[in-house]
Structure 1
Amino acid sequence: MREFTRSVLGRTARRRWVHLILGGALAMPYVLVGEVVIGPLSGSRQVSSELPLQLASFALGLPLAALTALLFPLARPLEAAAARALCGLAPDALDHGPARTPAARGRTAAWFTLHLGFGGIVSGMSLAVPPLALVLIVLPVPAVLRDSRLGLPEVLGEPWALPLCPLAGVALLLGLAGCAAGCGTLLARWAPALLGPTPEDRLAAAEARAADLAVRNRLARELHDSVGHALSAVTLQAGAARRVLDTDPEFVREALAAIEDTTRRTVGELDAVLGVLRDGDPPGTAPAPTLAADLDGLVRRTRAGGQRVTATVTLDPAALPPLVSREAYRIVQEGLSNALRHAAGEPVALCIGGADGRLEITVENPVGAAGVSRPGVSRPGVPRSGGGHGLRGIADRVRLLGGECRAGASGGTWRLHVLLPWKGPV
């Protein structure tokens, strides 16, 4: 009983009833146009006082309503907004924009016709049934009502009928509520099919989300590789300089110069990445670093932090395509950054070469954290929680270029090995 009461008179049912009454109000102009046409055809001057002519006017107005929805694309978002607010539908179940295709306009016309049709019927019942039900409920009580019967059928004047009048009045009210709840439920069930996105719209939305996710992932990789490497290098350089501040001023000057250069370059890269997020800013207000132009500076800044890096380059980085050169720089940067974080002070071997149209990058360092940053200067590694995104970013870059990536420890040595195709359609 409680479930039935909630389905007929609950909050959702009442909101859907309001939605139907709104449909009845929208149907009134079309009904008036129908009366203008039906009046001359029927020869009657009192169309509004004759029920058959009113029904004919209502039936003639519904096609006009459908034509309105076909001609005005904005009818779709307006109806969808009303259905979302009053029919208890999920926000993503219905379209938010105007109808752009003939199929969408046709479904909008069908929905608009149903909304106005059901709304007109329920609105008419809502106006007529409650007064009649109220009269039936109180009819057995006042003598004046029993005598006049207010134009009610003669059978209600029978003694056996009077006790049943209140029950009939209550039944009429329940029938009205049930009819409104049923029509509202039907409209809520049909709304996603008639006002919801088509499979083509869903596919386009999925492609847009995928493109947006790709941009976000690219920005995340750029921020991680540039800013993350810079912060790790600056932290190690500053720590090393602090330890030898009183004993090796020359090293301190080198470390401070490396920190200045690292932060200046990182600010430029950060501006380039954030420019993609700003409306009106072109993506890339500063040139992205490449292997050909920035490898020497990257190795020098890493060494300034106390890391012993041996770099072996057996090809000309200037011969690489710009895209491969940019991605290769980020891969080398992340490899050296991992060595700084997890094997600080340990010797790092960087090898860059190429054969058979493929660029080969290898970064090796001993597994472990304790190391020596300078002869006689002991420095522990820098622990870092929440990591693990660097290797994932490298794998993403390599996969986008159609290359291969392997990383792991073997025999006490951590090895990052990357192969990138750089001849052909990259």
Structure 2
Amino acid sequence: MTDFASTKALFHLPEGVIYLDGNSLGPLPRAAAARVQHRVQEEWGELLITGWNKAGWMAEPGVLGNRIGRLIGAEPGHVVLGDTLSIKVYQALAAALEMRPERRVILSDSGNFPSDLYMAEGLIKALGRGHELRVVAPQEVAGAITDEVAVTLLTEVDYRTGRLHDMAEITRRAQDAGALTIWDLAHSAGALPVDLVGCGADFAVGCTYKYLNGGPGAPAFIYVAPRHATCAAPALSGWLGHAAPFAFEAAYRPGEGIERMRVGTPPVLAMAALEAALDIWEGVDLTDIRAQSIALGEMFIAEVEVRCPMLTLASPRDPSARGSQVSFQFEHGYAAMQALIAQGVIGDFRAPDLMRFGFAPLYIDTEDVKEAARRLAHVMQNRLWGDPVYQARATVT
């Protein structure tokens, strides 16, 4: 059994703050600052450019990729780290379309994160081959998979409501129809068990700054199934995806396997923070994470529905049908969330009216949940959200 009291002690959490926004940005692992400082002073400072070899900087995207791969049910050697999630979506989507040249439809859903859809729109425009981005309601995805579809592009957990797609079933349906699958694991990796191998997924991408606690701007990752590793064409033919970067050849040759999905220079300082965060996962069982996050979410829903009848549950009622977050609808949700943050409970808001709360058992416990519900009730029952100071919109919501 995972000792969640021990894992909580491994994070820096400001005094008096209950942090329910790890689904947007994970908190600071206590070991991260020292790890980054070591990389800056002892590696960059003392080794200078020799750190690429002596400190293993160049190999680290694959090393960390394997550590993430263990958390998402991937085969060793088929996950690599680097760049941003949008870049990885673009790479996976371009490769999938190249593998299905006779088909023109990219199937996604209206609950997908907008950036994924933006990348699809941009790629379609760049290719100029008449591809179509077909967006349906989340519950209609399975029925919309036809022989026109080249690839499904789906985020497993809906960023707004936490609704959870059935990865195994949708992957089966897509592949039976001759389509490929891309799974965005931004709200899955570190939040619930993922079995890419068992589901037969073709491609997967994800970020490391949410449940994996890699820090703001932490690099993304990409998975390519072994059966596609030598034929997936990297649309972004970056220097570090070359078969021999330091041969400095004039023409591009893709690297072997997942290495071809590398693009730019590894973010060496950011990887140090992520490395410290991933150390915490060495003693964690994801089935325990899932069970505890469900328990915490159920407790929060029960408390809020008793104390705050003006809030409407927007997440699936069935905990097995949602990820590790709970969302409530409220007309003045933005202002209410700002008032709640002022009371020391940090969640976030998604337009037009959703208040989101994430439940990461690594650092959230039952007492946190009870106290968060109490403070939320104080905000709602006293209409603190009506104060104009909470209604001025900030850039990040």
TM-score by length of 1: 0.19
Q: Greater relative contact order: 1 or 2 (C-alpha under 8 angstroms, separation 6 or more)?
A: 2
Please tell me whether Structure 1 or Structure 2 has the larger radius of gyration of its CA atoms.
Answer: 1
Give the structure with the higher percent helix.
Answer: 1
